[in-house]
Structure 1
Amino acid sequence: MPTQPAGQASPSEITPHRHRRVAESFGVDPERYDRTRPPYPDAMVERIVAAAPGPGVLDVGCGTGTAARQFQAAGCAVLGVEPDARMAGFARRSGVEVEVATFEEWDPAGRTFDAVVAGTAWHWVDPVAGAAKAARVLRPGGRLALFWHVFELPPAVAEAFAEAFRQVVPDSPFTVDPRAMRSAVDGYQPLFDNASGGVREVGGFDEPRQWRFDWERTYTRDEWLDQLPTGGTLTGLSPDALEHILEGVGAAVDAMGGAFTMPYATVVVTAARSGAT
């Protein structure tokens, strides 16, 4: 869900990578995170693999290993980098090799890769330092591919969430705008622009482009309420505050018949390494 610190002059100034407490809060329940977060479109994985010069993939902020396992299934050799040891432990148990570090501080130890990918994670990385590190570890012609799921909540569900969040966290440094939650790609475009801007500033890449993959998923009330606590705005809430939000959102879904179909767009910001490091 698009969120931004209160008082920002412009959405383009969003700097989520500075909010480390939120960035490293997802490991509170890695089993739920892995169970409920949707995988990435197979067509996206196939396109990234086809655009890379070889099978060596570095997965930045690999979390529980969702994307890493998909790239492994596509024939890639994947190394994950993940700052949260709890998430990294889950990924290892699922068959992914992971090193625990933030990407900015991670030591590649001379290793290079054919692709650097990040699934719903690059906004937690400094866009300039991250692009510089990616340029350092990518082989010439290597592919940088940063991707996010973007979804459009039904208006009633978005508004119920925003209202319940305001009630339980009135002094939150983040705001939740139900209009942004319904405008999907427009709401996330500042994050895409930040990623592209970091790549341009560092140099050594061709011009960043966006690839888009549209799909949809139907959620029952219980399925959506199971996923909802994995969002960054909720991982640090007290049990009572979380329960209040789940009750409000659950009532909205019940009023829609107990289920809804969510349109998704998975958007990739991508660029190729243009020369030798």
Structure 2
Amino acid sequence: MRETFDRAASLYQRARPDYPDALYDDLLALTGVVPPARLLEVGCGPGKATLPLARRGFRITAVELGTALAAEARRRLAGFPHVEVVRSSFEEWEPPDTPYDLVYAATAWKWVDPRVRYAKAAALLRPGGRLAVWDAGHAFPEGFDPFFAEIQKVYDALGEGGDDVWPPPRPEDLPDPHAADLAASGRFEVVGTRRHVWARRYTAEEYLALLDTFSGHIAMAPERRDHLYAEVRRRLAARPDGRLTRHWSTVLTVGRRV
């Protein structure tokens, strides 16, 4: 499934939201890194989380499995000579001997082999170096857009509803998705977590472009996807402004190499 994202390389940067500026402020505060520290990004995609840190003057090696995604990242980061994009899986990548100050992964860590990721990240860091991971996911705060309750019935009818409870818990009621695994690895001590929730408005076509960047929708049978997308268009066409509000949530988890 992790290889499906490469099919959406041209859409990913445009359709996926940028992470909040406050997340990067928290990242630097919790890790203590300052330019020109050496950073390693695992699964950079088209450079969504690489560019903001490149602009701050960090030296970055960005490893990306997808050929098309890596090419898109190189294009977007061409103006930063201190950034290198490497086309490889993190598991198979042969790193240089110089250790890194920070290893980070933005909405990519879950796709790395759990038998490898913490041990390799720790081996690549200087003593006391930091590991930072975060994901951006759909959030359902109090008063979320009722569109999602309506469209969930379509997913369920198609057999694509999954096993999660409905409605999902509020963002503040969800546990940190990475802290327990990070601590259990024996390689890192959790030094801080920060949660961010934000909202974006989407037209039908903007929202469908977003869905086309998700692995489950990319892999969905075409006839099911066509039916789902027709239902999205039909429901939003009935709204006065033709738009929906989707909330996003991300939890930043930072660990110190022990």
Range of TM-score over shorter length? 0.7 to 0.9
Retained in 1: the 8 A contact 2:135–2:251?
A: yes
Off by >6 Å, runs of 4+ in structure 1: none
Q: How big is the shift at 1:126?
A: 2.8
> Does residue 43 of structure 2 align to residue 57 of structure 1?
no
Q: How big is the shift at 1:166?
A: 4.1
> Does residue 87 of structure 2 align to residue 100 of structure 1?
yes
Q: What letter is aligned with 1:268? A: L
Q: 1:225 corresponds to which residue?
A: 208
Which residues of 2 match residues 18-167 of structure 1 at below 5 A?
Answer: 22-50=1-29, 51-54=31-34, 55-95=37-77, 97-152=84-139, 154=144, 156-167=146-157
SS class of match (1:175): coil
| Count of equivalent residues | 246
Distance 1:74 1:97 in 2: 15
Identity %: 31
Q: What letter is aligned with 1:264? A: W
- Across the aligned residues of Structure 1 and Structure 2, the Cα RMSD in angstroms comes to 2.5
Q: 2:169 corresponds to which residue?
A: 183
Which segments of 5 or more consecutive residues in structure 1 lack a partner in the other structure?
Answer: 1-21
Comparing 76-85 with 52-61, greater Cα deviation is found at 52-61
Which segments of 5 or more consecutive residues in structure 2 lack a partner in the other structure?
Answer: 78-82
**TM-score relative to the length of structure 2:** 0.83
Q: How big is the shift at 1:60?
A: 0.6
**TM-score relative to the length of structure 1:** 0.78
Cα gap change, 1:201/1:227 in structure 2, threshold over 3 Å: closer, same or farther? same
Retained in 1: the 8 A contact 2:12–2:213?
A: yes
Which residues of 2 match residues 199-214 of structure 1 at below 5 A?
Answer: 199-207=182-190, 209-214=192-197
Q: How big is the shift at 1:68?
A: 0.6
Retained in 2: the 8 A contact 1:135–1:204?
A: yes
Q: What letter is aligned with 1:217? A: R
Q: How big is the shift at 1:141?
A: 2.8
Q: 2:80 corresponds to which residue?
A: none
Q: How big is the shift at 1:23?
A: 0.8
Q: How big is the shift at 1:260?
A: 2.5
- CA deviation map 1:146-187 (0-9, x unaligned): 11123336464334443333444x3x6x8264725x435379
SS class of match (1:207): strand
Distance 2:173 2:108 in 1: 16
